[in-house]
C-alpha cells in the first residue's frame, strides 16, 4: 500500500506542477527572460502565430481600461508605454508605469442619457511593433488596466507614386 501511494505521488506531482504553472510558462522557454510583474502590476503575454512573410505585418498594442462614459465624447488616458531591453537577453518588454488621468472632448451631452461601458485607450500615436512569432510580446501595466492588440497587414502590391 505504501509503495502504491509513493508511486502515485511520483506520477501525479509533475502533472500538478504543470497545472500550477502560469499559462504559457511551460510552452515558451523565452518567457523565463521576463520577470514576473511587480506588486500592483499585471503582466500580459502575446504569442503571435507564424506568418509566411512576417515583415508584411505589424502589431498594434492597445492599452486601456473599461470606463462608463457618455456615447458622444471621445476620451483617452494619459500615459506612456515605455520600451525596456532586458539585460543579458536583448529582448524588449513594454511597461506602462502609471495610467494617467482621463481626458476627452467637451461636447454637451444630455445629463439623463445613459452611460455606456467603453474601452478607453492611451492617447497619442498607436504603438506599432515589429511582428515576430518567435518571441512573445510582454507588456506590464498597472492592475486593472487591460492590454489588447491588433495585427496589421501590408497590401502585397506596392502602388506606384505619381511624380509631381
* Residue 144 covered by a domain: yes
| Cα dihedral across residues 149, 150, 154, 156: positive or negative | positive
Query: The domain that contains 80 carries what CATH number?
Result: 2.60.40.550
* Residue 85 covered by a domain: yes
The pLDDT assigned to 26 comes to 47
The pLDDT assigned to 29 comes to 82
The pLDDT assigned to 27 comes to 55
- Residue 73 reports pLDDT greater than 60: yes
* Residue 17 covered by a domain: no
Number of domains within the chain: 1
* Residue 8 covered by a domain: no
Spatial CB neighbours of 148, under 8 Å, sequence gap ≥ 6: 61, 62, 63, 64, 119
The pLDDT assigned to 164 comes to 87
Please give the average per-residue pLDDT across 129-137, as a whole number: 97
List C-alpha distances in Å: 139 to 31, 35, 98, 123: 12, 11, 13, 17
Q: Which of 138, 142, 139 is nearest to 41 (CA)?
A: 142
Range of the domain at 126: 41-153
* Residue 121 covered by a domain: yes
* Residue 161 covered by a domain: no
What's the pLDDT tens digit per position in 95-132? 999 999 999 999 999 999 999 999 999 999 999 999 99
* Residue 10 covered by a domain: no
What's the pLDDT tens digit per position in 40-50? 999 999 999 99
* Residue 7 covered by a domain: no
Regarding predicted confidence, which is higher, 6 or 72?
A: 72
- Residue 10 reports pLDDT greater than 50: no
Residue 63 · residue 124 · CB < 8 Å: no
Amino acid at each position: 500500500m505504501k509503495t502504491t501511494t509513493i508511486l502515485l505521488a511520483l506520477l501525479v506531482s509533475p502533472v500538478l506542477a504543470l497545472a500550477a504553472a502560469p499559462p504559457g510558462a511551460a510552452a515558451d522557454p523565452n518567457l523565463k527572460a521576463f520577470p514576473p510583474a511587480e506588486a500592483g502590476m499585471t503582466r500580459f503575454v502575446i504569442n503571435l502565430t507564424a506568418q509566411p512573410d512576417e515583415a508584411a505585418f505589424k502589431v498594434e498594442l492597445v492599452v486601456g481600461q473599461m470606463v462608463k462614459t457618455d456615447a458622444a465624447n471621445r476620451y483617452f488616458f494619459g500615459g506612456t508605454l515605455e520600451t525596456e531591453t532586458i539585460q543579458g537577453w536583448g529582448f524588449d518588454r513594454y511597461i506602462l508605469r502609471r495610467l494617467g488621468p482621463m481626458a476627452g472632448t467637451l461636447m454637451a451631452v444630455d445629463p439623463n442619457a445613459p452611460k455606456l461601458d467603453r474601452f478607453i485607450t492611451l492617447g497619442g500615436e498607436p504603438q506599432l511593433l515589429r511582428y515576430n512569432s518567435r518571441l512573445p510580446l510582454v507588456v506590464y501595466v498597472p492592475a486593472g488596466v487591460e492590454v489588447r492588440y491588433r495585427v496589421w497587414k501590408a497590401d502585397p502590391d506596392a502602388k506606384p507614386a505619381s511624380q509631381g
